[in-house]
Structure 1
Amino acid sequence: MSDIKKVALVIYGFLLSAIIGVIAGLFLILEGITSEAVWSSNNRLVEAVLVIIGSLILYLLLNRWPNLPKTSQDSLRELKLNKTIDYHDVFLNLLITLIILSFGAGVGPEAALLSAIISLSIWQADKVRYLYFEYDKLKKLPLHETLKRLFDPFKFQQKYVGATAPKIPSIIKQKRILYPVFIINGILAFTLLIRQTDQPSFIIKLGESNWHPVDIWILPILMIVGIIFGKSCKLFYKVFHMWINRMNLPLLLKVSMGAIAIILISYLAPDLLFSGQHSLNLLIGNWANKSPLFLMVMGILKLLFLAWCLNFNWRGGHIFPITFAAMIEGFAIAQLLPGYDQLFIVAIVATTIMSELISPVVAGIFIMLFFPLKLTPIIILVAILMYLKNKIGFKKTANS
């Protein structure tokens, strides 16, 4: 392969990965704009009417495309099964998710966004592969025709075929190097766009910690509390999901039930609308002096709202809502134990609950973003202990 061809492939890959990062950033920016448009009137009646309109739009879209919106798990499953992904519905997937998020559903943007990034990454690979195989033909075409083919969104791609894939070790090595470089480039494009448009960050520091090693004895007790809470939630989710499926409700009724829940939450606890990714400041702001009972109820209500939305076709991500709810429960328990460092208690409880409901790896990574560096060893320790617990439990289940 000539040096000019190598340079062309690298530049093309950089451009496409930057486009993916920009698409992800534009989605979040647009979500902020549309959410503000729906909920900025401060008139409950107007907001309720808008939610009803949004639910009708959602029903029409889901009635036409019942398998959307896709999550990252859906995309990975499709990739594993077919060795590729049909990325032609990626923008439709984001549109449906935008409707769900803008009208206040208690789910996060991460599921559809990660699905879109996975799909667009396959798109990028197919486009770069097309340039690799068609390079000699393309360089003979007029420049405008070459650019038209290279940047046509859904034409002129080359799907992966094992028989024709390059087998030369040097090319395989270059691909392994370039893939992470392209990912970093996409992240940089996303970050620059978000910063340049002054988008609010979902990461806030919850304060400082002065925990002492002598307090480590309480860690297993707090973890047991978190595990019991998490297992209770999982049992409820399972039973609730089975119950809803058994009822076999029509789509219109399910979407309407989701809209009713959103309207009720907007009246009773408007702070629980949306995913919670921008609501963590409540825990060190307006909710700082709230009672433990209030915080516990808010955390449970947030998880109930998430379950309701997911089961009534207002689908989305669960990481941000569970993060918010786990933090709320952590602060509630910390209020019951005033003799201990508050963030020490919160970090243990939140990491345990998130580990039980999602995974220890995700919990460890996410929780560390919000806490001071001094608590990082504790968060990692709890995540490791939860990982070992899950692994031992899985082995026992497999052997029984």
Structure 2
Amino acid sequence: MRKKFLIFMYGLGLSVIAGFIVGLFYVLQSFLIEFFWHKNVDAFSRPVTNAIILLVIGIVIFLTRKHFGQLPRNFSNVMAEIRQKGTANYHTLLAQMVIPAIILVSGTSLGPEATLVSSTVLYGIWIGDKLRYVEANYAKLKKSSWLMVLRVLLIPHQYRIHREDSPEHRGIFLNKKMTKVVYFLNGVLGFSIVYNLFGEPSLIIRIGDSNWHYEKLGWMLLILLVSYAVGHVYLKVMIEIRKVIQSRIFHEVALITLGGLAIYVSSLLAPEILFSGQHNFHLFTTN
């Protein structure tokens, strides 16, 4: 019982550390975006400055994809790897905490949530591997020096046992789902602490009080239907455009260049759409 409790508490410590690191990623990308683009959307149209920023980021994307692959890792690909192998490769996690933060400075509409989601899953796998090692070597660690124990507990890239790729594997806790929930919430707590320490703005935007009346609900339904239809058409168009691009452009440099040019033109002609338009969110609360 004591063994399970100590391992559980160790997992709590790892989960809050993971939350801290993910929180630092969010703070970093927020700082970089504000540093290079400021908050005033009217100042986004800077032909030379924007070109330099996008050129540097394009080089970063090319070099990092060559050495690390796609960063951040796609969530669907991570889950597919887990279903196939029982685990996933998380050796580029620290790079995933830095490189996407730099890439987001480009103004791409892909926000930090892509990194947050896949990183949360990958950190969960890392925590499981560390706990698995401690559980398997618990008796040996009890006889080891405290320096050795600290080494095992604190060195992140060593002393791990990957999850077995077999249906018989049950992990080290009887109630794995509850343990995962507790660790996840603990990680969210760590993320929230960092988030608030650095004074990041709330993720919740209050739009204001509603003035809709019952006789206007018909218009609301119409707006929802039209919005759904427009969004569906837009999605179809984007899928077809992607197919056309992928069928004609194969070289990675050409793809990066095309994406950079699209963002560059947008920054000059329609800067409001950069960063998914988040710089215009304040308009929701304008009376």
Matched-pair contact (CA < 8 Å) for 1:266–1:273: yes
Question: 2:25 matched to which residue of 1?
Answer: 27
Structure 1 gap ranges (5+): 289-400
Question: 1:49 matched to which residue of 2?
Answer: 52
Question: 1:76 matched to which residue of 2?
Answer: 79
Secondary structure at the counterpart of residue 229 of structure 1: helix
Matched-pair contact (CA < 8 Å) for 1:63–1:251: no
After TM superposition, list the pairs within 5 Å mapping 1:214-233 onto structure 2. Answer: 214-233=215-234
After TM superposition, list the pairs within 5 Å mapping 1:168-179 onto structure 2. Answer: 171-173=173-175, 175-179=176-180
Matched-pair contact (CA < 8 Å) for 1:202–1:278: no
Matched-pair contact (CA < 8 Å) for 1:35–1:101: yes
TM-aligned CA distance change 1:222 to 1:270, over 3 Å: closer
Alignment TM-score, normalising by the size of structure 1: 0.65
The CA deviation at 1:165 is 4.1
CA distance in 2, matches of 1:111, 1:96: 13
Question: 1:63 matched to which residue of 2?
Answer: 66
CA distance in 2, matches of 1:93, 1:192: 21
Matched-pair contact (CA < 8 Å) for 2:206–2:285: no
The CA deviation at 1:38 is 2.5
Question: 1:185 matched to which residue of 2?
Answer: 186
RMSD, aligned α-carbons? 2.3
CA distance in 1, matches of 2:171, 2:180: 17
The CA deviation at 1:212 is 2.4
Question: 2:102 matched to which residue of 1?
Answer: 99
CA distance in 1, matches of 2:279, 2:85: 37
Kindly indicate whether residue 131 of structure 2 is the aligned counterpart of residue 128 of structure 1: yes
TM-aligned CA distance change 1:75 to 1:277, over 3 Å: farther
Question: 1:281 matched to which residue of 2?
Answer: 282
Deviations 1:163-203 (A, max 9, x none): 874599xx413x33322111111111111110111012232
CA distance in 2, matches of 1:47, 1:150: 45
TM-aligned CA distance change 1:272 to 1:51, over 3 Å: same
TM-aligned CA distance change 1:281 to 1:38, over 3 Å: same
CA distance in 2, matches of 1:239, 1:202: 33
TM-aligned CA distance change 1:145 to 1:279, over 3 Å: farther
CA distance in 2, matches of 1:195, 1:23: 14
The CA deviation at 1:268 is 2.0
Determine what percentage of the aligned residue pairs are the same residue: 29
Secondary structure at the counterpart of residue 87 of structure 1: coil
Kindly indicate whether residue 8 of structure 2 is the aligned counterpart of residue 10 of structure 1: yes
Number of aligned residue pairs: give it: 281
Matched-pair contact (CA < 8 Å) for 2:129–2:162: yes
Deviations 1:222-273 (A, max 9, x none): 3331232022112101211110111033111211122222222222232322
After TM superposition, list the pairs within 5 Å mapping 1:160-171 onto structure 2. Answer: 160-161=163-164, 162=166, 165=169, 171=173
Kindly indicate whether residue 151 of structure 2 is the aligned counterpart of residue 151 of structure 1: no
The CA deviation at 1:120 is 0.7
CA distance in 1, matches of 2:123, 2:90: 7
Deviations 1:143-182 (A, max 9, x none): 11111112211211122224874599xx413x33322111
Deviations 1:291-319 (A, max 9, x none): xxxxxxxxxxxxxxxxxxxxxxxxxxxxx
TM-aligned CA distance change 1:277 to 1:146, over 3 Å: farther
Query: Which amino acid letter does the alignment assign opposite residue 37 of structure 2?
Result: W
CA distance in 1, matches of 2:174, 2:239: 44
Structure 2 gap ranges (5+): none
Deviations 1:34-64 (A, max 9, x none): 2233224955422321221221222222233
CA distance in 1, matches of 2:108, 2:73: 16
Kindly indicate whether residue 35 of structure 2 is the aligned counterpart of residue 37 of structure 1: yes
Matched-pair contact (CA < 8 Å) for 1:25–1:193: yes
After TM superposition, list the pairs within 5 Å mapping 1:370-381 onto structure 2. Answer: none
CA distance in 1, matches of 2:170, 2:256: 48
TM-aligned CA distance change 1:166 to 1:283, over 3 Å: closer
